[in-house]
């Protein structure tokens, strides 16, 4: 018996008292848990920026008019010239210059040769400093943001949810979701932090607000 068989066997055994006609939606799930850990009137965007930066990601804030300049600044700072570009990414958001944009399809060796990837996001979560990608246009498949060593992600301020339940309510559960909290890192071995284990070592996040002053 394989491990798979053993696991599925235990699941079947645990479900023997469930009527065959019953469906998941037939059983109410209590939702009376605390749905947000933010304070009343708390600046969600500021909290998101603070928490993302806690993970050693670089965060900048701009508005739509300043977005192309913000992208140029980030890419210049990282010396990233060769970038993976997911299908459906708005070309008007890209700065003009010497950057080379490589669009899908890209195999793993091709992705590995690039400096990084630039994507949009499906949502942000303020309390955890997490960005969520769901492979919609402008976000690409998972490999696009796992193989290159640098990820530049653009998040709209209106996409930032207070907490995880709010974010999940905004997302489509049928889509493949990737939750990203900072650059890839692990401290599994003797609590020594190692970055770049399962994804890019460097993460930049640009928050796009309706209007920005003083940032």
Per-10-residue mean pLDDT of the chain, 215 residues long, equals 94 92 89 88 96 94 96 97 96 95 94 97 97 96 93 97 95 95 80 78 96 57
Contacts of residue 73, Cβ cutoff 8 Å, sequence gap at least 6: 60
Q: What is the pLDDT of residue 213?
A: 56
Beta strands in the chain (DSSP E): 58-63, 82-85, 100-103, 116-120, 123-125, 130-133, 150-156, 160-161, 178-180, 185-186, 194-195, 202-209
**What's the whole-model pTM score?**
0.85
Question: What's the confidence (pLDDT) of residue 182?
Answer: 84
């Amino acid at each position: 018996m394989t491990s798979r068989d053993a696991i599925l066997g235990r699941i079947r055994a645990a479900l023997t008292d469930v009527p065959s006609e019953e469906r998941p939606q037939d059983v109410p799930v209590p939702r009376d848990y605390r749905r947000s850990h933010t304070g009343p009137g708390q600046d969600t965007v500021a909290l998101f920026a603070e928490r993302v930066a806690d993970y050693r990601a670089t965060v900048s804030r701009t508005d739509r008019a300043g977005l192309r300049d913000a992208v140029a600044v980030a890419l210049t700072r990282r010396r990233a010239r060769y970038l993976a570009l997911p299908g459906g990414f708005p070309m008007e958001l890209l700065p003009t210059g010497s950057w080379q944009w490589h669009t899908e399809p890209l195999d793993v060796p091709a992705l590995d040769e690039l400096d990084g990837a630039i994507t949009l996001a499906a949502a942000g979560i303020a309390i955890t400093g997490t960005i969520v990608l769901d492979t919609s246009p402008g976000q690409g498949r998972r490999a696009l943001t796992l193989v290159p060593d640098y990820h530049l992600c653009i998040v709209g301020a209106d996409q930032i949810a207070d907490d995880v339940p709010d974010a999940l309510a905004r997302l489509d559960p049928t889509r493949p979701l990737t939750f990203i909290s900072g650059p890839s890192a692990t401290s599994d071995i003797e609590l020594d932090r190692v970055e770049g284990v399962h994804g890019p070592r460097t993460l930049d996040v640009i928050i796009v607000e309706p209007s920005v002053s003083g940032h």
